[in-house]
Amino acid sequence: MAITQAMCTSFKQELMLGTHNFATNGNAFKLALYAEGGGGKSSTTATLGAATTAYTTTGEVANSGSYTAGGGALTKVAPTTSGTTALTDFSDISFTTATITAMGALIYNDTNSDKAVAVLDFTSNKTSTSGTFTVTFPTADASNAIIRIA
C-alpha cells in the first residue's frame, strides 16, 4: 500500500521537542489530499506512512475548485482530556466545486516547516466530480478522536 494510515514517527519525537502547538492560537495545520496509482499531479503516486516527515507534492491531487496545492487550512479545536487520554480535534474540511480522486491525506504543520503529523488512509478512492469533497473528523472522545495520547 502506498498510503498507510499512521501517526508519523517524526511527529511523536517532535511532540517531545515542543515543535507542535495545537492550541487554537497555536500553529497552523493543513490537510493535503493524495492519490494512488499515478493519479496525482504529473502522474505521480503518493507514498505516505509512519516514515513521512513532511508535506510533499509527490502524489498530491491536482488543483481543482477550491483545492490548491498544499491543501486546506484546518480549524483547530483546543486539546482536552477525557479520563487519562489527551486528545485534540479539527473541524471538518470541505473543498467545493472540485473534481478530485483521493486515496488519503496528510495533516501537517504549516507553521513549522510543513512537518508531518499524521497520514490518513481513506481505504478506497473517494471521488467528487464538480462537487464537494468533505473530510469529516471522528467524534472527539477518548476512543475515536483524530489525535489521542493515552
Partner 1 sequence: MFQINAAEIGNVKVNTSQNGGFSSDQIADMATDKIVYVADNAPPAIQEQARLFADRVRNLLRGYVDLAKKEERATIIQVIEQTGNKELANIIRRL
Interacting residues with partner 1 (CB under 8 A): 5-7, 12, 15, 92, 96, 100, 102, 105, 118, 120, 122, 126-139, 141, 143-150
Q: How far is CA 141 from the centre of its chain?
A: 19
Which CB sits closer to partner 1, 42 or 129?
Answer: 129
User: Can you give the length of the chain in residues?
Assistant: 150
Whole-number minimum distance, CB 133 to partner 1, in Å? 5
Whole-number minimum distance, CB 111 to partner 1, in Å? 20
Contacts with 4 (C-beta within 8 Å, 6 or more apart), sequence order: 48, 49, 50, 119, 121
Cα three-residue angle 28-54-58, rounded to 5 degrees: 115
Which CB sits closer to partner 1, 42 or 130?
Answer: 130
Which CB sits closer to partner 1, 32 or 146?
Answer: 146
Rounded Cα distance between 72 and 70, Å, is 7
Whole-number minimum distance, CB 131 to partner 1, in Å? 4
